[in-house]
Amino acid sequence: MKKRLVLIGATGSVGTNVLDIVRKNPDDFTIMGLTAHTDTDALHALQHEFQPPLGVTCAVSDMSAMVCDDRVDMVVVACLGTEVREMLLAAIKHKKEIAIATKELLVEYGHEIMREAKRNGVTILPVDSEHSGVFQLLEGNRHRTLEKITLTCSGGPFLHASKKMLQSATVKQALQHPTWDMGKKISIDSATMMNKALEIIEAHHLFDIEPENIEVLVHPQSLVHAMVHFSDGTSMAHMGHADMRIPIHYALYYPESSDAAVPKLDLAGNELVFEKPDTETFPSILFAYEALKKGGDYPKRLNRANDRAVKLFMEKKIRFDEIFQYIKEQAFAT
Ligand code: MG
């Protein structure tokens, strides 16, 4: 039986990887519908190639009908932003399998999404590499008591940079991620470590774990993506190359599994380093703990403030180091 997919955000970085897996495995998947935000040329090229029975669309209002169609098994949410919240909730109510890469949705509406998923018996499959790692580590370990999880981050292009150095950091430098090849917004978020801040909030909702039990470690090699620590003294790490195809492949095939055409890990000769993040220079993750502590719409305010800050930085209206001050003022000022 082929798994029948609707892909929300077909022209983005994750969407492109999803389609690559589908192309390589035509016996396992059928594309039922595709959506994009604005790139209609690319979307029409994909329509021509995949000929999805439910068509293609850029209109958010049309997406809800598309994902609720009886012929759809799984909805892969890989767009930017939170405009598709209604669509996602509709898909959950129709008991579709959900693979989600859009962390902003979980940051802003995680409580609601997880509540509806639970109510409808739907498993939310994280596509974010760290969260896919935690998800996989918890599989088969539900009988243990989880005490803490660790999310790793590479530290981005400005690892070990001083505050002074950050003053002159350019957009071009900020987009040069050392280990991951990703979209622009998430690359800037990695450089500021706001990506990890959003991931703390994402993890809090996905795994129902208190913020103080979510730890972040800088791990420049990006080979360990996540760890779980159980009360019985056992810690487990999830490892693999920094390649988004791996968590995407896992989510698409879940609860089954299949061989992935990706480079396999060989640890010989690798040195793995873990450090505490420098929250003095990069306060982003402190913002996440603060937003979760304050609750209410603070996580949403944090996400929105970050969106605006990234935009202003990309437009060269604020300096890189001013992003932190901007977010702090915008998200937490009363
Ligand atoms: Mg991630």
Ligand 1 centre to CA of 283 (Å) is 18
Q: Which long-range contacts (CB under 8 A, 24 or more apart) does 322-329 make?
A: 323/192, 323/194, 324/192, 324/282, 324/283, 324/284, 327/194, 327/284, 327/287, 327/302, 328/283, 328/287
Ligand 1 centre to CA of 129 (Å) is 5
Ligand 1 centre to CA of 128 (Å) is 5
Domain ranges of the chain: 3-127, 132-237+269-332
Ligand 1 centre to CA of 149 (Å) is 14
The tens place of each residue's pLDDT in the chain, 334 residues long, gives 899 999 999 999 999 999 999 999 999 999 999 999 999 999 999 999 999 999 999 999 999 999 999 999 999 999 988 999 999 999 999 999 999 999 999 999 999 999 999 999 999 999 999 999 999 999 999 999 999 999 999 998 999 999 999 999 999 999 987 777 777 888 999 999 999 999 999 999 999 999 999 999 999 999 999 999 999 999 999 999 999 999 999 999 999 999 998 999 999 999 999 999 999 999 999 999 999 999 999 999 999 999 999 999 999 999 999 999 999 999 998 7
Ligand 1 centre to CA of 245 (Å) is 13
Q: Are 99 and 125 in contact (CB under 8 A)?
A: yes
Q: What does the radius of gyration of the chain's CA atoms come to, in whole angstroms?
A: 19
Ligand 1 centre to CA of 104 (Å) is 12
Taking alpha carbons only, the member of 153, 63, 103 closest to residue 303 is 103
Ligand 1 centre to CA of 190 (Å) is 9
Topology (CATH level 3) of domain 3-127: Rossmann fold (3.40.50)
